[in-house]
Chains A and B, each alone.
Chain A
């Protein structure tokens, strides 16, 4: 019966050994202990202890500084290990804001892989270093960002007008030149956040006039109003995050909002992207994604080949340069949200949430790029996407010549039920003045204004019966019986028939639509005779009857 005694003795000892091993591992072999043991401050070795930054208002308790000691409050001088380097100077002092607010990751973990989120199924990994600016989106809403080309021309204006001579922006310019010339003007990197003197131009002119010589005389000359507007665009977007603004401007140039909503504005064909940056890598498939299974790689591959990454995705592949794909990825990663207490609510978010300011610039070109370009093409020439109906060219001069601004605005506002075009006023979240700006921009795209037309909206008196026989012999081949649509678009669409004037319909049939199968019906073709104006009026009368309206 001794063997029971030995069993007890042996297994107890083994348990003790294992527990002691676990205790040693837990207490002595942790990486952060090793790093801290090597750390030396000005006063000598630093105490080895768990360090953390706690900010209850932000809901932060970050133990990152247990390894990154030098980034902690008052520890900038600690050295001794390659990881022990101070954070570069930033507006948001890590000692107050912690680390995870900007960088993501798991602040409460104390092992590298866990803290950085490089573990399987971890829902929120740390943002990669080259996408750090995406972290800004958690709290900030950069406002009034124009499309890529508008931003580029604003930046070109700023550089062309030599503002960088005196002013420093995003780390460039403002250097005092040796041998006279150049001076330190105020740093303009944060004008979009802090604001600036709107009367700057007059003051510059006065100072330049008063100055006897030097840079005020040499480097400044009055700026045209066009350039002033460009400079305003540029200054409004200086928020100390140039990469993020540039990325956002790319997002606003490829019509993404035509299908996706962000913060309540946009189409409904694709998923709402307001929090797309928080996507959980554990919930997506990395089967078709080359490289590391990170959200960054996933998104980049998803932009290149949406349907292979997300089964059943209808999103057209973005035919973009690597840089633009990286920018889109950066911006998408920045689409995240943190609930903030009042004291930490940044002004830009406040303006966006409480005062309904837009994150996109409200000029027609930017709006068209952000909302329309995805389907109608960046130049408004329409698009044909595999698996989808073809989207009409709205910059077509024949179309623009016969259509009124009211009709365009009405169509944009209410959409076209039964087709892909949504109503942008109610469902899309655009405002009436923004739609107006888009319509004006569409006019400039086709460079065509409407031919003057003084006739009322409904002036045709011809007989629908006659129109019916013409329609059936000539039009129904493309537009289908009773105008139900075939190769050509359906014409029995309620909203179309309500908003289109008689003149518009007659003009469209008479002129045709260049670049499409719709030819001018005043001219004969090999397959059909020419129609007369009265024939065309009869067809329009028939079209009107398709809804059971006046015959």
Chain B
């Protein structure tokens, strides 16, 4: 072969290859062809590392707005918004006392759009807390935690805790008075096991409270060490933990067969004819063929026809992106009308009075005012434990996928709301009007107050009510419905009292205008 012509051919080929580069890039990106038909879209979703968290096809039941109210996606969206705005804020934020406050001031006043970004971050964080709590309520009331989703409920609880942790650690970073004293309260709650060890007189030998506080603050007082710890938790450890848990959460949704739906969902949907659904497979598979040798038992697809599914792309993605943009819209709108608070520089010698924790912890703080250990650690642990036990105690099947499904149903929930609202209001009114054991018997041992205080009595009443529900309806689900509803109501009542009706020294005031003047 003539070396010159060979050379010439290779060069031509090179040029030809170069010309086709854009097309080849497109082709390699969308290996199954451009996602323009249902088939290629399915291939695309299946082959994309991010999209394949979704099933290729989505059941129409999942796309109904009333199924999920978009709360899960709203939580993720809020997280992504805080992630993006948070990284932007990190360009200017300096995690060192005094400098931190100055840098927040710079972000607020000097950095172009810094104020907006910070406001969005703050609102997205609050919306995330609300969305996560409501998402949990949705999952509970539709009994979505039931088999095979028990474990995912636990992951969800983990996500709730991490979300609250993320929000709380962000609270300290501005290093203003609000932050400083809220964290001081948090640190004291961490130290509250001392209430028990002090009462038992064993603090000098065994002091888990002091250790917890030391681990949290890295020092005896809230200072530079605490700030860098909270910063690291806020920007690295907790977001990574959240992302990891989220990955597991989503993956389990897929593995557990998508959104929960009632057994008769297909029939109910088929009452309305819908052109958008059409069979892909002609009959329900007797088994799914992938991993058939490895996976024990039947997968969730077995025995079900795909008639009521639609391609995830675009139907599910429209819904998800829609909720995401809606969340962003709410964040931006709130950010434009309401500035994130920034008080004066933290001053350890001038305590805020009242020093209040972030709003979602004010219910806890209200209980802490009765007993630091019970309110800050004891009851929250009991609540978390109780929530975690729900899917393992309720093994019924009635009402899965239905709002307020199960024995009792909406009637029971309504009745539980009456109990849930009235009990804390009555107990609080009593304690506010007549005082508590310490006022009547000044020398009473602390251990008794730790065990017998408005918060523990409230918990006990709720527990007794739950047991009554189980007996009355002969159903663990009924007990759970009662208890969970009470928990939500109690959380609401205590949070409202802590937010609006507590003044200096945590004294009850009907309105902030009644607060004593200094």
User: Given B110, B329, B350, which contacts A109 in the complex, CB threshold below 8 Å?
Assistant: B110
Is A22 in contact with B344, judged by CB distance below 8 angstroms?
Answer: no
Provide the bound-state CA to CA distance between A11 and B326, in Å.
Answer: 5
Say whether B325 faces chain A, with CB atoms less than 8 Å apart: yes
Given contacts A18-B329, A19-B332, contact A8 B109 (CB under 8 A): no
Is B110 in contact with A7, judged by CB distance below 8 angstroms?
Answer: no
Contacting A at CB under 8 A, from B313-327, are: 314-315, 318-319, 321-323, 325-326
Is B329 in contact with A14, judged by CB distance below 8 angstroms?
Answer: yes
Say whether B296 faces chain A, with CB atoms less than 8 Å apart: no
CB distance from A279 to the nearest CB of B (A): 12
Provide the bound-state CA to CA distance between A371 and B518, in Å.
Answer: 33
Say whether A455 faces chain B, with CB atoms less than 8 Å apart: no
Given contacts A5-B318, A11-B322, A12-B325, contact A18 B344 (CB under 8 A): no
Contacts of A7 in B (CB 8 A): 318-319, 322-323, 325-326
0/1 interface trace, chain B 105-134, chain A, CB 8 Å (1 if under):
110011011001000000000000000000
Q: Which residue of A lies closest to B327 (CB)?
A: A11
**Number of chain A interface residues as a range:** 20 to 34
0/1 interface trace, chain B 160-177, chain A, CB 8 Å (1 if under):
000000000000000010
User: Given B315, B332, B347, which contacts A283 in the complex, CB threshold below 8 Å?
Assistant: B347
Is B325 in contact with A4, judged by CB distance below 8 angstroms?
Answer: no
Contacts of B60 in A (CB 8 A): 1
Contacts of A282 in B (CB 8 A): 343-345
Is B318 in contact with A285, judged by CB distance below 8 angstroms?
Answer: no
Is B517 in contact with A287, judged by CB distance below 8 angstroms?
Answer: yes
Is A111 in contact with B350, judged by CB distance below 8 angstroms?
Answer: no
Provide the bound-state CA to CA distance between A285 and B517, in Å.
Answer: 11
Is B109 in contact with A111, judged by CB distance below 8 angstroms?
Answer: yes
Say whether A280 faces chain B, with CB atoms less than 8 Å apart: yes
Say whether B63 faces chain A, with CB atoms less than 8 Å apart: yes
Is B325 in contact with A123, judged by CB distance below 8 angstroms?
Answer: no
Say whether B333 faces chain A, with CB atoms less than 8 Å apart: yes
Given contacts A22-B113, A121-B343, contact A1 B310 (CB under 8 A): yes
Provide the bound-state CA to CA distance between A7 and B322, in Å.
Answer: 5
User: Given A1, A15, A109, which contacts B325 in the complex, CB threshold below 8 Å?
Assistant: A15
Interface SS, A side: helix
Is A108 in contact with B332, judged by CB distance below 8 angstroms?
Answer: no
0/1 interface trace, chain B 320-353, chain A, CB 8 Å (1 if under):
0111011011001100100000111101001000
CB distance from B375 to the nearest CB of A (A): 30
Q: Which residue of B lies closest to A8 (CB)?
A: B322
Contacts of A283 in B (CB 8 A): 344-345, 347, 350
Say whether A26 faces chain B, with CB atoms less than 8 Å apart: yes
Given contacts A15-B329, A18-B333, A108-B109, contact A8 B345 (CB under 8 A): no
Say whether B276 faces chain A, with CB atoms less than 8 Å apart: yes
Provide the bound-state CA to CA distance between A313 and B34, in Å.
Answer: 79
Provide the bound-state CA to CA distance between A524 and B221, in Å.
Answer: 67
Provide the bound-state CA to CA distance between A530 and B517, in Å.
Answer: 59
Contacts of A287 in B (CB 8 A): 517-518
Contacts of B336 in A (CB 8 A): 18, 21-22
Summed over the interface, the residue pairs from A and B with CB atoms below 8 Å come to a total of 81
CB distance from B346 to the nearest CB of A (A): 11
Contacts of A311 in B (CB 8 A): 518
CB distance from A122 to the nearest CB of B (A): 8
Is B350 in contact with A106, judged by CB distance below 8 angstroms?
Answer: no
0/1 interface trace, chain A 4-34, chain B, CB 8 Å (1 if under):
1101100110110011011000100000000
Contacts of A296 in B (CB 8 A): none
User: Given B63, B176, B343, B344, which contacts A4 in the complex, CB threshold below 8 Å?
Assistant: B63
Say whether A110 faces chain B, with CB atoms less than 8 Å apart: yes
Contacts of B329 in A (CB 8 A): 11, 14-15, 18
Contacts of B350 in A (CB 8 A): 283
CB distance from B434 to the nearest CB of A (A): 32
Is A4 in contact with B332, judged by CB distance below 8 angstroms?
Answer: no
Given contacts A15-B329, A18-B336, contact A280 B318 (CB under 8 A): no
Say whether A118 faces chain B, with CB atoms less than 8 Å apart: no
Is A280 in contact with B109, judged by CB distance below 8 angstroms?
Answer: no
Provide the bound-state CA to CA distance between A12 and B176, in Å.
Answer: 35
Contacts of A5 in B (CB 8 A): 314, 318, 322
Contacts of A121 in B (CB 8 A): 176, 342-344
Contacts of B322 in A (CB 8 A): 4-5, 7-8, 11
Say whether A379 faces chain B, with CB atoms less than 8 Å apart: no
Provide the bound-state CA to CA distance between A110 and B319, in Å.
Answer: 41
Say whether A114 faces chain B, with CB atoms less than 8 Å apart: yes
Provide the bound-state CA to CA distance between A139 and B51, in Å.
Answer: 63
CB distance from B112 to the nearest CB of A (A): 6
Provide the bound-state CA to CA distance between A3 and B70, in Å.
Answer: 13
Is B110 in contact with A108, judged by CB distance below 8 angstroms?
Answer: yes
Is B63 in contact with A22, judged by CB distance below 8 angstroms?
Answer: no
What are 10 of the A-B contact pairs (CB < 8 Å)?
A1-B63, A4-B315, A8-B321, A11-B328, A15-B329, A15-B332, A109-B110, A110-B109, A280-B345, A282-B344
Q: A8-B322, A121-B176, A282-B343 provided; 10 other pairs, C-beta below 8 A? A: A1-B318, A3-B65, A7-B319, A14-B329, A18-B329, A26-B112, A109-B110, A283-B344, A287-B518, A311-B518
Top-5 shortest CB links A-B: A282-B344, A7-B322, A8-B322, A11-B325, A4-B319
